[in-house]
Amino acid sequence: FVWYIIAAVIGLFIGAVIVLVISAICKGSTDFESNVRVTASLMVVMPIGALLGFAGGINLYLGAVVTLGVNIFSLWLLYNALNETLKAKQETTKIVSYVLIALFVLAMFMKIATLRKANQFMEGFKNSDFKEMMKDIEEEKEKEKENN
C-alpha cells in the first residue's frame, strides 16, 4: 500500500515537469506549484481509465476505443487547464493538443495491430496439432517416470 502512495507522488512530480514543459511551449505559466496542481487534477482520470479497462477483455476494438476516449478526455482537461489555469496561448495549446491526439491515435492503431498479431500467434496453440504434441510430451514424461 505504501508503495502505491510513493509511486503516485513520484508520478505527480514527473507529470508536473511534463505539464511545465508543455506550458512553457504554449507560453503559459512556469510556476511549478500551479503545474503540480494541474497534474494532480489530471491524475483523477487514471482510476476512471482503470475502471473502464475491462472493456478490452470484452472486445479488442471496444477496449481500444474506450482507452482512446479516456485519453482524449484527459487531453481536453489538459487543454482547459492550460488555457484557464496556466494562461497559455490558445492557438499554441490547440496545436499541441492536436499533436498529442495524433500520438494517442497512432498508439491505438499500434496497440490494435500488436494485439491482432498476438491473437493470431496464440490461435496456433489452439489447433489440434499442438494438443497432440502436448499429449505426446506428457506421455514421454510418464514413460520417463516409469523408467526411473
**How far apart (Å, rounded) are the C-alpha atoms in residues 38 and 72?**
16
Q: How many residues does the chain have?
A: 148
Q: Among 6-10, 97-101, 121-125, 138-142, which is the least confidently predicted range?
A: 121-125
Q: How many CB atoms lie within 10 A of CB 14?
A: 11
pLDDT in tens, 16-57: 999 999 999 999 998 999 999 999 999 999 888 888 888 888
Per-residue confidence (pLDDT) for residue 138, from 0 to 100: 87
Per-residue confidence (pLDDT) for residue 83, from 0 to 100: 94
Cell of 119: 491473437
pLDDT in tens, 60-109: 888 888 988 999 999 999 999 999 999 999 999 999 999 999 999 999 89
Per-residue confidence (pLDDT) for residue 64, from 0 to 100: 86
Task: Evaluate if residue 126 carries a pLDDT over 70.
Answer: no
Q: Sketch the domain layout of the chain as residue ranges.
A: 2-147
Confidence of residue 10 (pLDDT cuts 50, 70, 90): very high
Buried b (16+ CB within 10 A) or exposed e, 98-133: eebbeebeeebeebeeeeeeeeeeeeeeeeeeeeee
Q: Which residue has the cell 500500500?
A: 1
